[in-house]
Amino acid sequence: MFTGATIRLSMICEALGLILLRDAEIAHVGKVPTRLDRRIVPVGTEAHLGEAAAETGIVAYVAPADLVAALPEEAGAIVADRPMAVAMAIHEHLAELPGFLWSDFDTVIDPTARIMPGAYIAPQNVRIGPMTVVGPNAVVLERTIIGAACSIGAGSVLGMEAFEQRSGARPRRLLVQAGGVMLEDHVTLLPGCTIARSSFGGFTRIGQETQIDAQSYIAHDCRVGARVTICAGCAVSGRVEIGDDAYLGPNCTVSNGVRIGAQATVSLGGVVTRPVPDGARVSGNFALPHENWLRLVRDYR
């Protein structure tokens, strides 16, 4: 499991040959909106700094020389011409330190769980709770925690790599992954669902009694609340938050970082690019409040 360990920036700079402006103790690398405590983030513009000021958990920055004077005085700082590439290099350095971010354990499957023929369960870093059923040809990869009485449909994949590209890498490749997936109790996934692990640490989390229909995709670092209904063919991008009792109709698409409120409804085929308030209903491409969408359709006709 995640260790919660911390390390001084001075040690990282010594190992990677980076320029340290102010020392600090960090636990993770992340982007500005990443939900991890004691993280260092890359910032390249004053707009990024403004966004960071509204976030919590940031204790240090990677920034270009012309921006360091604007950094919070109490924060640690590394100076770099390419902040994102350097931040990703720091992340991969931390991910490769034995036992720093994560402490390995042998996979634990409750005796009452049922693993159907053809399913693959990683031999390390998986926990499967009582009365859970893992369907035929499902894949459960490392750093996946599954609660009690869950149902994992045939051919579903839990813990796949996040589609997070490694800035500055040549040839192009994906970032080394450090996070995991957590399903709370009584979660149901129908066949062919995919849930990506979080990128920098922590879990992509699915709340209790949530039901996800076939061929849906939940990307890295999402947080899905309790009793959420996600219908077939939905695509939920990274760092999305979905409140309790929300409903996503068939073939919805939700853009990166959007919050969908508790008890909100997204009509079938909706394309959500901005926050949806609690209890609201949105429709269309791009999704509008449902009554506005109906008026738009009537006017068009």
> In terms of Cα–Cα distance, which of 123, 34, 46, 162 is closest to 87?
34
pLDDT above 80: residue 298:
no
Please tell me whether residues 31 and 133 are part of one structural domain.
no
Please tell me whether residues 40 and 186 are part of one structural domain.
no
- CB contact at 8 A, 184 and 149: no
pLDDT above 90: residue 295:
no
Please tell me whether residues 32 and 178 are part of one structural domain.
no
Last residue of a domain, one of 32, 67, 96: 96
Last residue of a domain, one of 69, 96, 123: 96
Please tell me whether residues 87 and 117 are part of one structural domain.
no
pLDDT band at 287 (very low <50, low <70, confident <90, very high): confident
**2 domain-assigned:** no
d(CA 288, CA 104): 45
Q: What is the mean pLDDT of the chain?
A: 95
C-alpha torsion 233→223→237→171, nearest 10: -120
- CB contact at 8 A, 234 and 248: yes
pLDDT digits over 272-286, tens only? 999 999 999 999 988
pLDDT band at 290 (very low <50, low <70, confident <90, very high): confident
Please tell me whether residues 145 and 201 are part of one structural domain.
yes
Q: Give the pLDDT score at 300.
A: 62
Do β-strands 194-196 and 58-63 pair in parallel, antiparallel, or remain unpaired?
unpaired
**117 domain-assigned:** yes
Number of domains in the chain: 2
Q: Which domain holds residue 238?
A: 108-300
Residue 167, number of CB atoms within 10 A of its CB: 16
Please tell me whether residues 126 and 229 are part of one structural domain.
yes
Local structure of residue 162 (DSSP, 8 states): P
d(CA 155, CA 138): 4
Please tell me whether residues 275 and 207 are part of one structural domain.
yes
Local structure of residue 201 (DSSP, 8 states): S
pLDDT above 70: residue 45:
yes
pLDDT band at 301 (very low <50, low <70, confident <90, very high): low
Share of the chain above pLDDT 90, in %: 92
pLDDT above 90: residue 211:
yes
**241 domain-assigned:** yes
- Assign residue 259 the CATH number of its domain: 2.160.10.10
Last residue of a domain, one of 44, 73, 96: 96
If you average pLDDT over residues 147-156, what whole number do you get?
98
Please tell me whether residues 84 and 112 are part of one structural domain.
no
Per the structure block, which two tokens stand in for 271?
A: 């394309």
Please tell me whether residues 63 and 160 are part of one structural domain.
no
Strand partners, 222: none
Q: Give the pLDDT score at 100.
A: 97
Q: Give the pLDDT score at 296.
A: 74
- CB contact at 8 A, 93 and 87: no
pLDDT above 90: residue 292:
no
If you average pLDDT over residues 5-30, what whole number do you get?
98
Please tell me whether residues 50 and 186 are part of one structural domain.
no
pLDDT above 90: residue 106:
yes
Q: Give the pLDDT score at 194.
A: 98
Residue 273, number of CB atoms within 10 A of its CB: 13
C-alpha torsion 140→142→144→146, nearest 10: 50
- CB contact at 8 A, 63 and 5: no
Please tell me whether residues 256 and 191 are part of one structural domain.
yes
Strand order in the sheet with 39-42: 19-22, 76-79, 58-63, 39-42, 28-29
Per-position b or e across 74-95, b if 16+ CB within 10 A of its CB: ebbbbbbeebbebbbbbbbbbb
- Assign residue 64 the CATH number of its domain: 3.40.1390.10
Please tell me whether residues 16 and 85 are part of one structural domain.
yes
**211 domain-assigned:** yes
If you average pLDDT over residues 248-258, what whole number do you get?
97
pLDDT digits over 224-245, tens only? 999 999 999 999 999 999 999 9
